[in-house]
């Protein structure tokens, strides 16, 4: 048996590689199935929540920001969800903020006024993200959801926050 591997030193390597590829393919297949199940579960959760506000982001301050958000009432609390299509330019110290300033007049100087509420640091510059909101937060005091660089007081994008009347 040793003479086979001495004459063809690559045979053992290719057998190991073939086995590794089969195992990786099986792992990817299982993980992909888990990811799809998690997406289905997330959509079921989203369907069971009441949407109390929603809107689309517009660029502010020269940075590209796009996508949408929604605020859901889960029955146990509120959460702000950024859509799969959410995108913003790179920047340091980006945060999701609720502000009493309207989207049209929002600029670097007036969005972090008294009454602004920093939700959390932005998790990612793109894609779906979920942020829990304080249970006692009065959404009627806010007019916009913004993406804001707190360190350099720079507004990236804003979306109107109008409560759904339904």
> For the chain, what is the domain count?
2
Residues 41 and 54 in one domain: no
Q: What average pLDDT does this structure show over 35-49?
A: 53
More confident residue, 42 or 14: 14
More confident residue, 6 or 146: 146
- Residue 35, Cβ density class (10 Å: 0-12 exposed, 13-18 middle, ≥19 buried): exposed
Residues 90 and 111 in one domain: yes
Q: What average pLDDT does this structure show over 3-19?
A: 65
Residues 24 and 61 in one domain: no
Residues 132 and 61 in one domain: yes
**Structure confidence at residue 41 (pLDDT):** 46
- Asked whether residue 166 is assigned to any structural domain, the reply reads no
Q: What average pLDDT does this structure show over 143-151?
A: 96
pLDDT band at 94 (very low <50, low <70, confident <90, very high): very high
| Mean pLDDT of the chain, nearest integer | 84
- Whether the predicted pLDDT of 49 surpasses 70: yes
**Closest residue by Cα to residue 165 from 82, 50, 46:** 50
Residues 132 and 87 in one domain: yes
Buried b or exposed e, range 131-163, using 16+ CB within 10 angstroms:
bebeeeeebeebbbbbbbbeeeebbbbbbbbee
**Structure confidence at residue 15 (pLDDT):** 78
Of the chain, the percentage scoring pLDDT greater than 90 comes to 60
Of the chain, the percentage scoring pLDDT greater than 70 comes to 79
- Whether the predicted pLDDT of 165 surpasses 50: yes
**Structure confidence at residue 81 (pLDDT):** 97
**Closest residue by Cα to residue 133 from 96, 86, 159, 93:** 96
- Whether the predicted pLDDT of 7 surpasses 60: no
- Whether the predicted pLDDT of 62 surpasses 50: yes
**Structure confidence at residue 40 (pLDDT):** 47
Residues 54 and 35 in one domain: no
Distance CA 164, CA 133 (A): 17
pLDDT band at 44 (very low <50, low <70, confident <90, very high): very low
Distance CA 54, CA 25 (A): 40
Range of the structural domain that residue 68 is part of: 50-160
């Amino acid at each position: 048996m040793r003479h086979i591997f001495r004459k063809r030193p690559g045979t053992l390597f290719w057998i190991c590689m073939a086995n590794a590829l089969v195992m990786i393919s099986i792992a990817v297949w299982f993980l992909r199935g888990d990811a799809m199940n998690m997406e289905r579960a997330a959509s079921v959760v989203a369907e069971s929540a009441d949407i109390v506000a929603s809107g689309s982001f517009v660029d502010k301050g020269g940075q590209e920001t796009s996508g949408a958000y929604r605020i859901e009432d889960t029955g146990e609390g509120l959460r702000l969800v950024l859509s799969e299509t959410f995108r913003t330019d790179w920047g340091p110290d980006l945060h999701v903020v609720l502000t009493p300033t309207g989207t049209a007049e929002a600029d670097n100087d007036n969005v972090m006024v008294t009454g602004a509420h920093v939700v959390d640091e932005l998790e990612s510059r793109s894609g779906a993200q979920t942020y829990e909101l304080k249970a006692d937060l009065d959404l009627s005091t806010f007019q916009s959801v913004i993406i804001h660089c707190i360190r350099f007081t720079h507004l990236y994008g804003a979306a109107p926050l109008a409560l759904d009347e339904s």
